[in-house]
């Protein structure tokens, strides 16, 4: 498949935004359980505003993928069958919830509405955070299922796609939460950093397992089933066009195998070991710049990861476009 940067930015920015929002709410929950010191409302409000900005930029990037962006509103219609439609519905819901969560903290709407048991006071931020958490995970699933549900792209048609999108999004979001805490000098940097390392390690396991699965993948379709001629030697001699077509532009990345391997090795280094080392180093020397660097490098790696995700997938239609003449 041809990796489109609009979709690469869409999926990575949404992932980081969802992860950052979940990190903020996790921080609030830990504080509620008195595992962590309670933070100023402004901490959660600003953090979730940054998450909202990422979601908005991601949504903006997605419009560059559309041929007719002015008709994008139509894409919510087929939510019964299309994961793309479901994503289009869940994303604005999440944005509204993140915005409301941020506003609730900013306006100090933290008076409990009712109590569960003796200690747990349920206020607006807690409810909005819970709803936002549900929406975030629903969005992770919807975004990933857009790819995982296409059975023809066998590299994507796997649970690993959903697990990777979720874990990588969470890891980058918690990494960003650590960077944000470091930037404003908040001591929660080690809390978010620890979670970021745990999630990055989880994502490493799942991503490497996905790579191993795809390396052993045996594609269902062959040129024999494509044209229905039973012979071991079937070679294309003409594809009906000399100057390429949509089929050659959309379904081929057009890079050498060496480039693709280089991108894969780059993301394996940039997403996993380097951010983990940087964030550990930040913990040891109490640096405020290393967590920021860790997030930026991991995000750069995620762009490479998503590029490789697209480039790796081989579409069966390519069997009809093997040779120009």
Q: Are 177 and 20 in contact (CB under 8 A)?
A: yes
Span from 70-78, 96-104, 164-172, 204-212 in contact with other proteins (CB under 8 A)? 70-78
Which of 151, 185, 216, 284 touches other proteins by CB under 8 A? Answer: 151
Span from 9-17, 18-26, 171-179, 221-229 in contact with other proteins (CB under 8 A)? 221-229
Cα–Cα distance between 239 and 319 in angstroms, integer? 10
Six-digit token string for 27: 């921080």
Q: Residue 215, class by beta-carbon neighbours within 10 Å (0-12 exposed, 13-18 middle, 19+ buried)?
A: exposed
Span from 44-52, 82-90, 136-144, 164-172 in contact with other proteins (CB under 8 A)? 82-90
Six-digit token string for 221: 């379709």
Which of 118, 246, 256, 258 touches other proteins by CB under 8 A? Answer: 246
75 scored as a contact of other proteins (CB under 8 A): yes
Which of 77, 107, 184, 205 touches other proteins by CB under 8 A? Answer: 77
Six-digit token string for 14: 């949404």
214 scored as a contact of other proteins (CB under 8 A): no
Element containing residue 199 per DSSP (H, E): helix 189-215
Cα–Cα distance between 3 and 1 in angstroms, integer? 6
Rg (CA), the chain: 22
Span from 43-51, 167-175, 217-225, 276-284 in contact with other proteins (CB under 8 A)? 217-225
320 scored as a contact of other proteins (CB under 8 A): yes
Which of 57, 76, 262, 277 touches other proteins by CB under 8 A? Answer: 76
Which of 115, 212, 220, 261 touches other proteins by CB under 8 A? Answer: 220
Encode 143-158: b = buried (16+ Cβ within 10 Å), e = exposed: bbbbbbbeeebbbbbb
Span from 41-49, 93-101, 227-235, 282-290 in contact with other proteins (CB under 8 A)? 227-235
252 scored as a contact of other proteins (CB under 8 A): no
What does the per-residue mask of binding to other proteins show for 46-65, with x meaning CB under 8 A?
-------------------x
Maximum C-alpha span of the chain? 77
Q: Residue 118, class by beta-carbon neighbours within 10 Å (0-12 exposed, 13-18 middle, 19+ buried)?
A: exposed
114 scored as a contact of other proteins (CB under 8 A): no
- Least CB distance from residue 227 to other proteins, whole Å? 5
235 scored as a contact of other proteins (CB under 8 A): yes
Cα–Cα distance between 311 and 3 in angstroms, integer? 6
- DSSP letters of 9-35? HHHHHHHHHHHHHHHHHHHHHHHHTTS
264 scored as a contact of other proteins (CB under 8 A): no
Which CA distances in Å does 283 have to 26, 38, 194, 295, 297? 20, 21, 9, 14, 17
- Least CB distance from residue 60 to other proteins, whole Å? 15
Binding site for other proteins (CB under 8 A): 1, 65-69, 71-72, 74-78, 81-85, 88, 146, 149-153, 220-221, 223, 225-229, 231, 233-247, 250-251, 315-318, 320-321
């Amino acid at each position: 498949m041809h990796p489109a940067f609009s979709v690469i930015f869409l999926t990575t920015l949404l992932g980081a935004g969802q992860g950052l929002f979940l990190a903020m709410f996790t921080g609030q929950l830990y504080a509620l359980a008195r595992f962590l010191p309670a933070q100023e409302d402004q901490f959660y409000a600003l953090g979730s505003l940054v998450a909202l900005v990422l979601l908005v930029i991601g949504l903006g990037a997605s419009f560059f993928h559309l041929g007719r962006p002015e008709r994008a509103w139509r894409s919510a219609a087929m939510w019964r069958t299309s994961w793309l439609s479901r994503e289009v519905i869940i994303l604005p819901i999440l944005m509204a919830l993140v915005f409301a969560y941020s506003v609730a903290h900013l306006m100090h709407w933290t008076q409990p509405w009712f109590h569960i048991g003796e200690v747990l006071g349920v206020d607006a931020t807690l409810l909005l955070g819970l709803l936002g958490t549900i929406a975030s995970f629903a969005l992770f699933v919807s975004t990933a299922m857009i790819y995982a549900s296409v059975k023809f792209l066998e590299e994507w048609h796997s649970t690993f796609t959903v697990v990777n999108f979720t874990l990588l999004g969470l890891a980058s979001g918690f990494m960003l939460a650590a960077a944000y805490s470091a930037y404003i000098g908040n001591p929660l940097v080690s809390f978010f950093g620890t979670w970021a390392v745990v999630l990055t390690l989880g994502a490493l396991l799942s991503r490497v397992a996905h790579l191993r699965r795809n390396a052993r993948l045996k594609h269902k379709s062959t040129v024999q089933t494509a044209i229905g001629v039973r012979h071991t030697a079937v070679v294309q001699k003409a594809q009906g066009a000399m100057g390429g077509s949509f089929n050659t532009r959309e379904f081929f990345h057009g890079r050498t195998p060496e480039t693709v391997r280089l991108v894969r090795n780059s993301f394996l280094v940039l997403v996993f070991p380097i951010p983990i080392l940087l964030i550990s180093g930040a913990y040891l020397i109490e640096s405020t710049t290393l967590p920021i660097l860790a997030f930026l490098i991991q995000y750069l790696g995620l762009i490479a990861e998503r590029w490789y995700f697209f480039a790796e997938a081989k579409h069966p239609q390519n069997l009809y476009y093997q040779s120009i003449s």
